[in-house]
Structures are given as structure tokens and as C-alpha cells.
Structure 1
Amino acid sequence: MGGTCESPAAASVILIRGGRPLSGEVLISGAKNAALPAIFASLLTPEPVWLGNVPHLTDVETALELIRALGKRVRWEEHWLVIEQDAPPSDTPPRELVQRMRASFLCLGPILARKGRARVPLPGGCPIGARPVDLHLKGLAALGAKIEMHGGQVVAEAQELRGEEVRLNYPSVGATEQLLLAGALAQGETTVLNPAREPEVEDLGRLLSAIGAEVSWRRDRVVIRGREELSGARHRVIPDRIEAGTYLLAAAAVGGKVRVRGVVPQHLQALLVKLHEAALEVNQGQDWVQVVAEGRPQALKVETGPYPGFPTDLQPPLVSALTLAEGESVVRETVFENRFGHVEGLVRMGADIRRQGQGLVVRGVEKLVGARVIAPDLRAG
């Protein structure tokens, strides 16, 4: 799910003094990519929705600003985000907010399902590749929506959405979430074949079940039985596996002993397997993972892919770690065709990286040097 991207002129400057190993323990935040769909799921019901473990991030504030514009009232009560109905729901979110953050497009399904009509601008997001919304629109059309495009805006109408079987030709996270959200108020059962199985998608399914829909996962499909009306609920957002993985990869890159706490280790298995292959010491408990790196990591061959494969969001920090590995690594990016914005900055710091097809060949060097670089997108930073 894409994040907010600022221009270099508007961005903050971070000064890093390196050259020393890392040591310590970090309590991991709630997952942004689970919190955002949960926030938009609140549009499905007039009843209060309480969300716990929601991270305080710019993208979260954008999502809250958007649902306020659609008729919700938002408040923080201790460690809970409380979302309540404040005004009759609107069917048109502000263009500026949707174009500020790609995940805002997830409001389409809930608005359409509850109001029978939605007018949502096409989304913005980070420039890491073509991420069309055609799977979202085809899926909603299969549920009975009439969809037209007018001036960069999706206009969708449906007196009543009907559950149908929808096959995705790619396990898209966004399209799966969109169909789950719309299916929660659709008549009958909606079956999504070849769905995304990322932990954040399954977390959305748990929230939808909590507010009254029935979501069940099977080997190659997810089935959601809709309801005419949905209730409120309390739901705690899962930990951010990408944040956790970034800290672990930082330890792999520069050495040291780093423990991440408040995580679900199973969500990190694709990364932990690669850290083992890189000859690093990896330990884990019920809700923590620790990496001990006493020397340079070994070179790896890695291919990104949908969960449970290696996450594309961890490809940039992985490449950063591999610039200091022993030997030559090969990293193939299969999710986004243009997720290589971090390479230029790493090369300026002394890394030996060359592009090879839809991937990178990284020859490890003994050390990197400081340089002025620009983070062109969220994860490249």
C-alpha cells in the first residue's frame, strides 16, 4: 500500500553519523498498512469503531481527515482511536486527500456499499511503478456496480451490491481489500479467488468479522458473507512487520545486536530465512525477534513476491545491507517494475550496484562513505 511522498523541497533533512554498530530493543508500532484499511472500514457502519495500536503517522492523519470529510467524528481515548458517525455520510471524498495518498482509494468500496453511489478521484502515491486500479474496478463491477470515468474521477453506482465469485489475475493487496470492504454490505456471499494473503489483509478480515460480516479463508480463496447492517467493534491493529524488518536489516548492515519487540514472528519468516542464509544469528520468542551481527553478512539471492514471499517493501533496506556483504548478491523485484529509487543514493555512498533486467546485482564492499542523498519514495528512505 503506497504512502505519502513529499517533494525534496518540502521534506525534512536527516543527518546520520554512522560507523558504529547498533544495540538495543525497539517496541514496534502498529502496521500502517493494516491501520489504513481499518480506518476506511469504519465507513461501513454508523456505529462506533474502536481501533487500538494505530500508529501516529502522516498517512494515518490523511485517512482521518478524509473520513471526517465523509461524515465521521474522530477522537483519541487513551491508546484507542474512536471513530463515530457525526453527520450523514457523503459520497464524494475531497480530491486533494485521495490524490495525496494511494490507500485513500479504499474508501470507494465502503461508500458505494453504504450509499449506493460513490465519486472518488483516482489515487496518488509513491512513484515506484504502475499500480493501476483496474482490478478494483473490475471486481466492483462483478458485484453489480456500474462504473464510469469522468475527468479523472471514478463514478460508481449500485442500488445493491450482490455477492459473486471474482478471480484476481494477480493477488493484489488493494483489490482484495476493496472487495472485502464492498462485500461486507453486499447481498449474499462474495468469493475472491487468488486473493492476497498478506497479514494486513487478514487483519482487515478479522475486523470485518468483528463488525458483523463473516470472513473465512481457504487455500485459494476468501469468502465474505455480507450483512444489511454492520455494528461497531473494538479491534487491535497488528504490528508493523516492515518496520520490524527494517530495524533487523539495519543491524545486518552495520553489525550489532538488535531486538524488536511486540511483533508476530511468523509474519517475518521470509526475512528471517534470508538473515539465516546470510550467516547472522537470529533468535525469536513469542513476540520478539533478535538479530546478532558480528561480521559482514554473506551474499544472498532474493526474489520479492506476494506474501508469504519476501516483501517488496523490505527490498530497499535489504539491498542497503547487501552493499556491505561478502560476495555478490542478486535481488530480483517482481512486484513493482520501478522500485530502484534507492540505488542512486547508495552508489553515491560507494556501493557497487548494477541493474540487471528486473533486478539488481550487488557486489559487496568493505565500507560506505557519507554523502548527500535524496529519498525518492517511502521505503527508499
Structure 2
Amino acid sequence: MDILHIVGQQRLEGTVMISGSKQSAIPCLAAALLTDQQVILEGVPDIGDVATMIQIIEMLGAVVTRQGDMVTIDPSHVEPMPLTGTDTRKLRGSIYLMSVLAARFKQGVVGLPGGYAIGPRPIDLHIKALERLGVSMRNEQGVYYMHVEELKGNRVYLDLPSFGATISALLVAVMAEGTTVIENAACDPEVVDVSTMLTNMGASVKGAGTDEIRIKGIKTLQGCRHTLIPDRMEAGTFLAMGAVLGRVTVDNVIPLHLESIIQKLERFGAKIDIADDSVTASVDLAKPIDIRVFHYGGFPSDLQPIISAVLLKPKGASVVVDKLYPQRFRHVQEMRRLNARITHEDASIIIRGGEALRGTEIEAHDPRGGAALVLSGMLASGETLLHHAEILDQSYERFVEKLKELGALVWRETV
């Protein structure tokens, strides 16, 4: 276990180079197995979840090499080996391999994917999408057995604009005979990114980034070289810190992808400066605001914990509602240990900001909540000890090092 020591109330100032997107990296690593030719991915973040995904595709026979942020995948020897181990169960993104195995090998065995304890994330939308495209699935004690007679394009309507289900459908549809139309699709930038990679592999994908995606399937895909988009969740995390602790610039970003967090930070009272590929957030007047989490276009659930930490600063009451992941509030009990006044009921919290926070010992339960607790500790007086700080490495590349470069007084201790 790692403990992160945080000395509070230090000003942050400087520039952070944002890494490639985790939410693109995981499905793009899966998509690389749709071909038997070499795939090169650039901008791949060196984080725990990516390392786990690489281990899983290596179990299938892929040969993977990393040089800096460039990952080369040789999928020529991949076989549909059963995936029922602990790696599969601890990574939510392993679900995409169900689609890949069904599309390329017409069979597969995959254990029920896991992830972090942020509430139930049922995979029924994924299953329905695959079944619409010709994948027969049988669930035996949490293990899915897949068989395909013939993949055929079809109309796939998603009951919710689920990011994961949209990706799952895409990965099968590109190799299904005929045309597939995904309706009520997720519009996230990472859907566009994965679609761009698939197009580079020879697929025909139209409409990514809208709620209707049309895919014309082909029999074989080729290798490609693809650069991932920047990680908007990492960028949002550091912008939130700049908004309450000083002046932070996030570089190597696409500002359009950050609109929802930028708008909320401006309403909060932060000063925001936008350039071509960078955004700066700095302290100005802080006031309470209300936040409602929604699918892309709205405020992202991944940044709900960090905005909750931001709202500890201004005097007055702020309300945060997250009906997408109503159990993603485990950070709240830890913030209370710092003397935060927060009430939690169902899918919402009420934050009564302006209280004097005091450093103490707290615990991280997931990466996004952990980042929020780091910010909470930096807002508090004295020293805060964040237990299980290693969980930050699952989603953030060089997180502690980047904080130090901004002027934070933080250090890790392994116990």
C-alpha cells in the first residue's frame, strides 16, 4: 500500500502536459486484435488500467512492445483463449474483447468484467447489441460463452447512449455483413477516436460523434498507425485544481472536449483562458453552484468527485446530482473526515462549503475519487495522509510528479 503525504494550502502554478486518453486507449487496444497485421498506437498513457489491458491481450497471443508512449501490437498469433482470470474481472474495459473475439473468431469465452466500486454497471446493453448482430451468448455463473453462425448488420437501438455499448456494437459491426445503424449512440469524443482508428484500418464508419452511426461491414481489416486524443478527464482534474489553488495550464488538449467542465468552472467563478491546444484555469471569485451529471454534452460522471472537492471552498450550499452512477460518492465519507460539511441522499449530495478543512488520514477507493481527495487535502490546513494512493496510478500518468511540478508539497510512502 502507498500513502500519499499532502501538505495543504500550497499554491499551484505551472503547466501540465496532458497524456493520451485512457478511455480511448482501452478500446483501441481491443480493436487492434480485429486484424492480423501490425497496429501502432501513439499517445498511450502509462497507467495501470492500460497495463492490465495489455496483459489481457497478451494472454490471447498478441505480442506487445512499448517505447515511451508508443505501443506496437502484433496480433498475428492471437487465438480465442478463454478469458476468465482476475485481470479480466478487475478491468471494465475487458468487455470489448467479447466483441473482438466474436467478430474475428466467431467464438469466445469471457468472464464478467469488473471495475471500480462506483455502483452497478450492467452489461445488458452490450449483450443486446451483440445479439442484434448475430452473436449467440450464454451466461454460466458470470462467464459468457459466445458463438456466431453469421454476423449480419442490423439496426441497433441503445436504450441509453452508453459509451461502452456503443463501442461494443462498433467493434462487431465493422466485420458484420451489410449495414449496421447504431441509434441513440454515445457522442463522446472517444467514440470518434475509436471510429477514426477503425476507419484507418479500412472500416466504413459514418456519423461518429452524433447519435446515429452507420457502419458498412467488411470481411478483413488491415493494420494502422493511430494517435490517441488527449485525456479530457485528466485535463479536467488539473483545471479544477487550478480553479481553487492558483493558476494551472493544461497543454496538449482539445478545448472543445472540455466545454462542460470549462462552463462549470466559469460559473463557479474561476478565470478561464482558452488557446488553440491549451486551457488555463486560475483562482478568482468562488461561489456555490449546482451540478447535474449527464452523458457527453453534459457534465461527466468521472469528474463529479473532483468538482465536489472544488465546491468545498466557496461559502454556501452546492448540490451535485449523479444519477448515472448514484453510488459514486464514496469520497464523501472521506471528505467529512477533513471537516467537510456534506450530506448524501440517494443520487445527490449537498455541499456546504466554506468550512475550515483540517488534515487527517483518509482513504482512496477509486482513481477519480482519489484525485478529489488529493485536492481536498491540498485545500486543508496541516498534513493529510491518503491511504491506498497507488489506485491513482490506474487512471493518471505520473500524477504525483505532475503535482510536484506545479508546486504541491506531496510525497509517496510505501508501507
TM (norm. structure 1) is 0.94
Report the Cα offset of residue 97 of structure 1. 1.6
- 2:365 aligned to which of 351, 354, 376: 376
1:320-353 deviation line (CA, Å, top 9, x unaligned): 0101113211111121020101101111101111
Match of 1:230 in 2: 221
Distance in 1 between residues matched to 2:35 and 2:241, nearest whole Å: 41
Residue type of the alignment partner of 1:165:
R
Aligned: 1:352 with 2:338: no
How far 1:88 sits from its partner (Å)? 4.4
For residues 339 and 68 of structure 2, what CA distance do their matches in structure 1 show? 46
- Three-state SS of the structure 1 residue aligned to 2:315 is coil
Could you tell me which runs of 5 or more consecutive residues in structure 2 were left unpaired when the two chains were aligned.
371-415
Quote the Cα distance in structure 1 between the aligned partners of 2:270 and 2:192.
30
What are the Cα deviations for residues 147-166 of structure 1, in whole angstroms up to 9, with x where unaligned? 11123210111122111001
Could you give the per-residue CA deviations for residues 217-246 of structure 1, whole angstroms, max 9, x where no partner exists?
174311111110000111000100000100
1:26-70 C-alpha deviation (Å, 9 max, x unpaired) = 000001111000000011000111100000111111111111111
- 2:68 and 2:353 map into 1 onto residues whose CA distance is 47
Identity of aligned residues (%): 35
Instruction: Find the partner of 2:79 among 83, 89, 93.
Output: 89
The residue number in structure 2 matching 1:105 is: 95
1:46 aligns with 2:30: no
Mean CA deviation greater in 60-69 or 91-100: 91-100
Query: Is it true that 1:173 corresponds to 2:188 in the alignment?
Result: no
- Which residue is equivalent to 1:239? 230
Question: Aligned AA for 1:221?
Answer: E
| Superposition deviation, residue 363 in structure 1 | 0.9
Q: Work out whether 1:318 is the aligned partner of 2:307.
A: yes
Q: Say if 2:205 and 2:213, in contact at 8 Å, map to a contact too.
A: yes
- 2: CA distance, partners of 1:273 / 1:303: 13
- Answering whether residue 289 of structure 2 is matched by residue 300 of structure 1, we say yes
What residue in structure 1 maps to residue 384 of structure 2?
none
Query: Which one of 342, 348, 365 corresponds to residue 354 of structure 2?
Result: 365
TM-score (norm 2): 0.87
Task: Say whether the 8 Å CA contact 1:113–1:160 is kept in structure 2.
Answer: no
Higher relative contact order (CA 8 A, sep 6+): 2
Aligned to 1:273: 263
Distance 1:88 1:21, change over 3 A: closer
CA RMSD, Structure 1 to Structure 2 (Å) = 1.3
CA distance in 2, matches of 1:182, 1:85: 17
2:51 corresponds to: 61
The match for 1:6 is none
Checking the alignment, whether the CA contact within 8 Å between 2:251 and 2:279 is kept in structure 1 is yes
Structure 1 runs (4+) deviating above 3 angstroms are none
Which residue pairs with 2:180 in the alignment? 190
Residues 69-91 of structure 1, C-alpha deviations (whole Å, 9 max, x = no match): 11110112454211012524224
Equivalent residue for 1:329? 318
Query: What is residue 120 of structure 1 aligned with on the other side?
Result: 110
With 360-369 and 301-310 compared, the bigger mean Cα shift is at 360-369
The residue type paired with residue 261 of structure 1 is: D
Aligned counterparts of 1:333 and 1:81: Cα–Cα separation in 2: 35
Decide which of 183, 189, 206 is 2:196's aligned counterpart.
Answer: 206
